[in-house]
Every structure is written in C-alpha cells, then in structure tokens.
Amino acid sequence: MTPTPDDVALLAQAEALLARAYSPYSHIRVAAVALAADGRTFGGVNVENSSLGLTTCAERNALARAVLEGAAPDAAGPGIVALVFTSNHPD
C-alpha cells in the first residue's frame, strides 16, 4: 500500500513529537498522532515511570487528548478515523 500525502503528513507530525517523549528507562521514544473525523489532529508521546504501572503509551495519550478536546465518538459518528505512530527503535 502506497502512503497518501495525508498519511505522510500525519507521520511527519508524529516524528516531530519524538523529542518530547519521556523514556529515561527504555530510551525508546514513541510518538503518535490521532486524526479526528473533523480533520483535527492530536499528538501524544510515551511517558515512562519507574513503577511501570504509571507508564503510558503514545497512542493512549493521543487518544486521551482527542477525547479531552472533544473528539470522542458520539451519535454523529466516529471521533477518530486514523492513528499513526513512530519510534526511534531500530525495528
């Protein structure tokens, strides 16, 4: 599947967020961008914590931000139509 220009733009937004990830333990930075049905985008990064239980992934943070800012699904339709992520991990 060939990425569309929109796919490339979403991935570029995620890559721009990588430096904001907080990963002092694994050193693996992850960033995600959620695309709402109305065209808005919501970024998130992974945030590690020494307790592990408080660690949150980038995808979860992007979706939580979308919900917080009003892009949750409702009777009118889906809130999020796409989610992309990237990482500094070599695999």
Give me the sign of the Cα torsion angle 56, 25, 53, 91. Answer: positive
State the amino acid at position 60 in one-letter form. Answer: R
Look up 69 and say whether it is catalytic.
no
Choosing from 15, 48, 59, 69, the catalytic residue is 59
| DSSP bridge partners of 82 | 35
Residue 5: beta bridge partners? Answer: none
Please list the active-site residues: 59
